[in-house]
Structure 1
Amino acid sequence: MLTVSAVGAVLAVVAEVADHRRRNRRDVDAVGFMPWRGIALVSVIVALFAAAFGLKG
């Protein structure tokens, strides 16, 4: 479970970097289609729950 937590944390960092790049884009009309904020939120939740279950068991 700690591996799942680490992967979730890495995915959260990647999603936050991608969201930062999307917010600071040069072409305002090129919005993209990935919901990076939602991906980051879900991956943080998964990382926290996996860490809690991994440390408990």
Structure 2
Amino acid sequence: MQVSMLSVSIGAALLFVVAEVAGWRRNNRRDVDRVGFMPWRGIALASAAVALFAAAFWLSGR
């Protein structure tokens, strides 16, 4: 169980990094009319929360 929580935490942290990079790219795009449909801020917040909770569960199980 502890290894799976660690892997969930790492995966969510990687998703957070990808969402932040995508959000940065959206904010700095050249063509303002080309808006996307992905809610990158929400994805980043949710993945950060999952990463923190999974890390907390992993640390409590050690």
Q: Give TM class, smaller chain.
A: over 0.9
- The one-character-per-residue Cα deviations of 1:10-53 (angstroms, maximum 9, x if unpaired) are 00000000000000000001011000000000000000000000
Partner-residue secondary structure (3-state), 2:42: helix
Unpaired segments of 5 or more residues in structure 2? Answer: none
TM-align CA RMSD: 0.3
Unpaired segments of 5 or more residues in structure 1? Answer: none
> Residue in 2 aligned with 1:48?
52
Alignment of 1:1-57 (within 5 A): 1-57=5-61
Count how many residue pairs are aligned between Structure 1 and Structure 2: 57
Separation in 2, partners of 1:25, 1:8: 26
Identity of aligned residues (%): 74
| TM-score of the two chains, using structure 2 as the length reference | 0.90
